Structure 1
Amino acid sequence: MATELQITSASADPDLLDLPWDVALAQWPASVLAALPRGLSRHVVRFVRMSGRVIAIKEISDIVAHGEYELLRKLDRMDVPSVVPLAVITGRVDADGNALEAALITEHLQYSLPYRSLFSHIMGADTATRLIDALAVLLVRLHLVGFYWGDVSLSNTLFRRDAETFAAYLVDAETGALYPKLTIGQRSYDVDLARTNIIGELMDLESGGVLDEGTDLIAIGDSLVERYNELWDALTLEESFSKDERWRVNERIERVHSLGFDVDELAMSTEDGGRRVRIRPKVVEAGYHSRRLAQLTGLEVQEHQARRLLSDLEHYCAFGENPGSSETKLAHQWLTEVFEPTIRAVPVAQRGKLQPAQLFHEVLDHRWFLSEQQSRDVPIIEAARSYGHSVLPTREAEQAILGLTPEQAASMDDEAIARGVVDDDLAEGDLAQLGPDL
């Protein structure tokens, strides 16, 4: 290894030194690579096994690598959905002394897929609409914190299942920049560029036979603009009403909550001689339902998954055996008596195909289907066993731990399990302590 090699990292992993940095990334041996689906990129990108996990490595120039690394660190601190940066490697040279590009290293986002994989292998005709909705939400979240993307596209995004929808994560930030507040022009440019790129990407899918030729691609691109504007207005526009309509303050807050956001501060002022009230959310944070679920149960899940789990928890609290108990106590009982046993009822070999929270959501849907089919209230454990034996075996694995199959992943040690796989030997209550992918 060349002595000029330099590693910039908040928490350097010594195993980084064992990777072949004196070889161009495109020529790295298969022995260190993880066979995971990759999206389109203007740069060479590879997934690599290291320290019992998978990392993503991208070759770019030194300046761009350091800039993107710092931006991703800032977004991570702001809790914006994006890949987690690990390190930048510079000073690379090959065996002949020729300079090689720098390498930006990020954590691989488990259970995520690029849009091409979703269209090609998993989803149906409504995939585009759900991905567009997810991208619109991500773009709004980025703009709220002052992040100008500069290259919005499906290719620069990864998607995770989130109940019946998707959650979008920023992958490529090399053209981005953070500002105290974005101008209307900056936001409009990002939205217009997103529309143009999305239409082009969908045209590419259509030409490859992945999308039906009759699909209205322009309408799909336009829907991104409509969804973005609708969401942005709901979260940021000022609203004026008479003093006799004070109920509209709570209505506005509840509207924001229903969109999955939380009002951190609400600016109120009077006008027209005190006869009218003007309100405007000053700071809006995303993740209202996921934060509430985490406070009650310790589970960290996607926003729509959290909403579904909270709904089931509320049903349990309303119809459980201890209606007078505190909300915290009932939440713990639901966790140990409903959520954990449901996950354990699914065969080990099938669990790794989905995140536990997504698995619970789909078991609830399957329970409803069985109850309708059989004209009886099917117990959730019975539904979980049925789903694990009749539905999951036909599903493609979405787990992405070292590129292993669910059967291989199911035999991993406890440390690996804590990154997303649930094992039969876990004691009751331990699931609440699992990592963020639960």
Structure 2
Amino acid sequence: MALDIIAARPDPALLDLPWQLPLEEWPEERLAALPRGISRHVVRFVKLSGKVIAVKEIKADLAIREYHLLRNLNRLGMPCVQPFAVVQGRVNAKGKPLDACLITRHLQFSLPYRALYSQTLRPDTATRLIDALAVLLVRLHLAGFWWGDVSLSNTLFVRDAGAFAAYLVDAETGELRERLSNGQREHDLEIARINIAGELFDLEAGGLLHGEDPIETSERIVTRYHELWAELTDVEEFDTAERWRVEDRIRRLNDIGFDVDELAIVTDFNGTTISIQPKVVDAGHHSRRLLRLTGLDVEEGQARRLLNDLDSYRAATERQLDDEELVAHDWLSLIYEPITRSVPPAMRGKLEPAELFHEILEHRWYMAELAGHDIRIEDATVDYVAHVLPNKPEEKSILGVDTTEMPVLGTI
């Protein structure tokens, strides 16, 4: 068998995988027990060189196209899975050609939406997932990417300080252009609305929906998308005496996690009215600031929460006038790292460190409410690890839930 492998950094261990077998027949010892979402193609999680990769069996031309699309989206900094390789030239033991395989890196701590619904979650889970998907869709559209098959099934979700961050996992139908028209954006939104409604009806039929109305919830993607798109792109006009509104617009964008790289400011002929419009926006305002101060690379919501705790630490130690980077270093070494490292090794795969720290902060707040006084974070950590963390699912690696086995009316 003469394999043809396309990869930026090929791993020689790829040659040891059983490419002569259809993917659905690969032996169990090669596979990783991770929850799989619904896909029109055969997908398997495979152990390779101590890591986990996702392998999707697909026609060669589609595999190569999606591989390059994902590479371009990664270059643009979009939230999506990382392409690893394309394997072509597969034949079985009888010499019959087999489909190619697209390989992507497994996104640690990520879950398909159906796996999330297999857990005990808050009643507003659907709306939190929709909000995350709306942010993802806006970011992709700003970059000129038309998805063509927007759905919960084609998205992976990572916990982000009580909310979720969404990642594109299937770009098979997508197109990357210089700029999208309003019609193209609305087409993607309509696809999203219809697909999400169908997916939620599937969950309802399986008894997994927590009281949300599938139609009403699916409409939320349209509302949230338009709200965010308007905040990021709309022209705002005001009197020259209200120039503070320029800074206010920038601050509002920072609050929702975006930086303004370029802002168009135009005055009218008489110089009495100002128009402003963000020209270039970039997501990750808080995560970039936290990375600069501490070296921690986390999701946007987690970064916002950690920065808030850093500010609280700064105030509690009366170091408001000290250099911010020095204070951040002390907070990292005296608070964050000791807390996240105090978790027993056997339970560290349940939540990533930043999400764990966020949950401990939440737990401390609840304990303080009950006690009627402040609680030391060290004491809150001990209580959380003893009574809350053991009941959390193992999200880093094995959940023991194959979502393809869960009740479903049809594939979206």
TM-score, length-normalised on structure 1?
Answer: 0.90
Q: CA deviation at 1:196?
A: 0.4
Q: CA deviation at 1:210?
A: 1.1
Cα distance in 2 for partners of 1:207, 1:264 equals 46
Q: CA deviation at 1:232?
A: 0.2
Matched with 2:125 is 127
Matched with 2:141 is 143
Cα distance in 1 for partners of 2:282, 2:6 equals 31
Matched with 1:364 is 361
Cα distance in 1 for partners of 2:222, 2:177 equals 22
Matched with 2:301 is 304
Question: Does structure 1 conserve the Cα–Cα contact (< 8 Å) formed by 2:123 and 2:212?
Answer: no
Moved more, 348-357 or 305-314: 348-357
For residues 162-201 of structure 1, what are the structure 2 equivalents within 5 Å?
162-201=160-199
Matched with 1:250 is 247
Q: Are 2:159 and 1:158 aligned?
A: no
Q: Are 2:281 and 1:291 aligned?
A: no
Matched with 2:330 is 333
Question: Does structure 2 conserve the Cα–Cα contact (< 8 Å) formed by 1:160 and 1:168?
Answer: yes
Question: Does structure 2 conserve the Cα–Cα contact (< 8 Å) formed by 1:122 and 1:396?
Answer: no
Matched with 1:350 is 347
Q: Are 2:56 and 1:36 aligned?
A: no
For residues 34-433 of structure 1, what are the structure 2 equivalents within 5 Å?
34-212=32-210, 215-320=212-317, 322-400=319-397, 403=398
Question: Does structure 2 conserve the Cα–Cα contact (< 8 Å) formed by 1:341 and 1:381?
Answer: no
Cα distance in 1 for partners of 2:14, 2:345 equals 32
Cα distance in 1 for partners of 2:296, 2:39 equals 34
Q: How many percent identity over aligned positions?
A: 57
Secondary structure of residue in 1 paired with 2:79: coil
Question: Does structure 2 conserve the Cα–Cα contact (< 8 Å) formed by 1:347 and 1:389?
Answer: no
Q: CA deviation at 1:321?
A: 5.1
Higher relative contact order (CA 8 A, sep 6+): 2
Cα distance in 2 for partners of 1:216, 1:72 equals 33
Letter of the structure 2 residue corresponding to residue 44 of structure 1: V
Q: CA deviation at 1:272?
A: 4.1
- Structure 2 residue runs of 5 or longer lacking an equivalent are 401-412
- 1:284-320: CA deviations, max 9, x gaps? 0000000000000000000000000000001111221
Letter of the structure 2 residue corresponding to residue 215 of structure 1: E
Matched with 1:429 is none
- 1:257-297: CA deviations, max 9, x gaps? 11111100101111142111111101000000000000000
Secondary structure of residue in 2 paired with 1:23: coil
Cα distance in 2 for partners of 1:310, 1:215 equals 33
Question: Does structure 2 conserve the Cα–Cα contact (< 8 Å) formed by 1:61 and 1:102?
Answer: yes
Cα distance in 1 for partners of 2:57, 2:117 equals 27
Letter of the structure 2 residue corresponding to residue 232 of structure 1: W
Cα distance in 1 for partners of 2:120, 2:171 equals 27
Letter of the structure 1 residue corresponding to residue 20 of structure 2: D
- 1:317-375: CA deviations, max 9, x gaps? 12215443200100000000110111122222222200100000000011111112122
Cα distance in 2 for partners of 1:275, 1:281 equals 20
Cα distance in 2 for partners of 1:107, 1:404 equals 18
- 1:67-108: CA deviations, max 9, x gaps? 000000011111110000000000111110100000000000
* Count of aligned pairs: 400
Secondary structure of residue in 1 paired with 2:34: coil
Q: Supply the RMSD in Å over aligned alpha carbons.
A: 1.2
Question: Does structure 1 conserve the Cα–Cα contact (< 8 Å) formed by 2:393 and 2:399?
Answer: no
- 1:46-66: CA deviations, max 9, x gaps? 000000000000001111000
Cα distance in 2 for partners of 1:339, 1:352 equals 17
Letter of the structure 1 residue corresponding to residue 90 of structure 2: R
Q: CA deviation at 1:376?
A: 2.3
Secondary structure of residue in 1 paired with 2:93: coil
Question: Does structure 1 conserve the Cα–Cα contact (< 8 Å) formed by 2:124 and 2:212?
Answer: no
Letter of the structure 2 residue corresponding to residue 250 of structure 1: E
Secondary structure of residue in 2 paired with 1:121: coil
Letter of the structure 1 residue corresponding to residue 257 of structure 2: G
Question: Does structure 2 conserve the Cα–Cα contact (< 8 Å) formed by 1:88 and 1:102?
Answer: yes
Cα distance in 1 for partners of 2:373, 2:344 equals 24
Matched with 1:11 is 9
Moved more, 142-151 or 319-328: 319-328
Cα distance in 1 for partners of 2:274, 2:214 equals 43
Cα distance in 1 for partners of 2:200, 2:113 equals 10
Moved more, 270-279 or 297-306: 270-279
Cα distance in 2 for partners of 1:206, 1:263 equals 41
Secondary structure of residue in 2 paired with 1:92: coil
Q: CA deviation at 1:219?
A: 0.8
Letter of the structure 1 residue corresponding to residue 217 of structure 2: I
Cα distance in 2 for partners of 1:198, 1:282 equals 31
